[in-house]
Every structure is written in structure tokens, then in C-alpha cells.
Amino acid sequence: MIRLIGLDLDGTLLTREKKITERTAAALNRAAERGVGIVPVTGRPLAGLPAELDGIRGIRYAVTSNGACIYDLSRKAILRETGMEPRKAMEVLAAAEDLDPIAEIFAGGYGYHTPDTSRRLEERFAGTPVMDYLRRSRRSMHSLEEFLSHFNGRIENISLMFSNPAGRNLTCARLEAVSGIRVIHPWPTDLEITHEAAEKGDALMRLAAILGIAAEDVMAMGDGDNDRSLLERSGLSVAMGNAAPHILEIADHVTGDNEHDGVADAVEQFVLQEG
């Protein structure tokens, strides 16, 4: 019996316009009424959680920054944080410095970047719904290296966007020499780097254990490389129809895509039809 649903956001719960369809919202609300917990499990930082989630009942917890953080949203408390030390983040940034990627670091629930990065992101995503997300969740710093040299906390995630796959591949090769990190491939030209112990699947299972829910009673849905562990660790794994081929292969079930209520299809089939 499904008691907890872990949902990736971009490419899964959200459409290209970064919206939740009425049918999908209704299905999740019906599940919540039955006592099923709904948990966003995303690569976004806490500040990037969309306002659309407010329309879904039963969302008390969230997993952010690719599993680096587990939040109790109702108490505004962090239950677990697994991040890199600032000096490790500097090592990661140095591996790509000469390739001039669009670089961002995530810490304390926000993304940080320089004014130049902000300009380049504007050029890349101008006129798209992504810009609303970026403006809400980012803070500008004069220098990422300067920020890291004075920051005493943990770095949740690092995002590197390259102009071509060659830059990404070269950086991947260089990062093999950096210990204690996990490298994720969200897009053909992009990389995301976290602490080696931070992953979506482990974070969701830790949350389930806190709530007294067995893995077999957890359903997870996702579409990308950073969702692999999420699907592998959950009792019922559902890949979106728009998922990457290697994600489709590992899922127990393939549902519709994120533009056509794939989440609603799966919730209706595996949660609302139970009993």
C-alpha cells in the first residue's frame, strides 16, 4: 500500500510552463486525503520550490538540492544536511575554471552566482518560465571563490553549464581525481556536483524511515539522471514518458509525459485504485 509519494519537479510534476495541471493537482489532493504523504524531491534549492505546490495538500516535507537537504516545511526546520565543505567546492570549480562554464553554487537554500552569470542565464533562458524560478531563488555575489573563502557552512550543490558537450566531458574527466563528490548529468552540456553521500533516493528513504514508512510503501516518479537513485530505492518506481532512455529501463512502470498528466495517471492507477 503506497503511503508516501516522492516527486521530482522539473520534467515530472511540472509542465514546460512550470505549472501543475488541474487533473494532477486533483489526483494528488485525493491521495493526500487518504493520508498519503506527498514529497517534492528536486534538484532545486529550498527557495526554488514553486508556489504551485501550495495547491497540493499533504506536503509537509521536501528533499532539495539533489538529496543534500531534507526539510520539515511546517516547522521551517532542516532534518538532514549533507553538503561539501567550501574547500571541496573550490576544488570542483577549479576543475572547470578555464572552460568558463555558467557556474552556480547552492547553500542555505539559495543559489549563488555572479552578475556575469546572471547575465548569461538571462541570455539562455530569456522569455521562459525558468527565469521566474531563477529570480526567486538566486542571490548575487561578487565572486564565488570569495564567497567560499568566507562561508562556514556546507555547499549543497554546484551547477556547471557548458557551451558544448566537450567542455562538460573534459570537466567530468578532471573531476575523477576529486574525492568525496557525486557527479550528475542532467543535460548533455550540464553537470551538477554534490557530496558523495547526497542523493535523492537515500534522502527519501531516510525521510520514510523517520516517518515509519517501509520502502515498499513508497512510490517515486522522475525523468532524469538525478532521479536514478530515487527510482532504484523506492518500492514502486515510475518513469515519466519523457524520461531519458536509461531511466525508462530501470523503472517498474512508465507513465505519460509531464505535459499530459503522467503523474496523475500513475497516482490514479497505483494509489487511488488501491483498496
Domain termination site, one of 161, 195, 229: 195
Q: Are residues 13 and 91 in the same domain?
A: no
* pLDDT (0 to 100) of residue 27: 98
* pLDDT (0 to 100) of residue 188: 87
Q: Are residues 76 and 92 in the same domain?
A: no
Q: What CATH code is carried by the domain that includes residue 183?
A: 3.30.1240.10
Q: Are residues 211 and 251 in the same domain?
A: yes
Q: Are residues 54 and 128 in the same domain?
A: no
* pLDDT (0 to 100) of residue 186: 86
Q: Are residues 15 and 111 in the same domain?
A: no
Q: Are residues 103 and 180 in the same domain?
A: yes
Domain termination site, one of 195, 216, 250: 195
Q: What CATH code is carried by the domain that includes residue 42?
A: 3.40.50.1000
The tens-digit pLDDT sequence of the chain (275 residues) is: 999 999 999 999 999 999 999 999 999 999 999 999 999 999 999 999 999 999 999 899 999 999 999 999 999 999 999 999 999 999 999 999 999 999 999 999 999 999 999 999 999 999 999 999 999 999 999 999 999 999 999 999 999 999 999 999 999 999 999 999 999 998 889 999 999 999 999 999 999 999 999 999 999 999 999 999 999 999 999 999 999 999 999 999 999 999 999 999 999 999 998 65
Q: Are residues 93 and 153 in the same domain?
A: yes
Q: Is the dihedral of CA 145, 147, 153, 159 positive or negative?
A: negative
* pLDDT (0 to 100) of residue 96: 97
* pLDDT (0 to 100) of residue 275: 52
Q: Position 215: which residue type?
A: A
* pLDDT (0 to 100) of residue 117: 95
Q: Are residues 106 and 178 in the same domain?
A: yes
| In the block, residue with C-alpha cell 557552512 | 153
Q: 53-71 as b/e, with b when 16 or more CB fall inside 10 Å? A: beebebbebbbbbbbbbbb
d(CA 103, CA 117) in angstroms, rounded, equals 7
Provide the residue range defining the domain that includes 175: 86-195
pLDDT digits (tens, 9 = 90+) for 6-47: 999 999 999 999 999 999 999 999 999 999 999 999 999 999
Q: Give how many domains the chain has, as a whole number.
A: 2
pLDDT digits (tens, 9 = 90+) for 131-160: 999 999 999 999 999 999 999 999 999 999
Q: Position 141: which residue type?
A: M
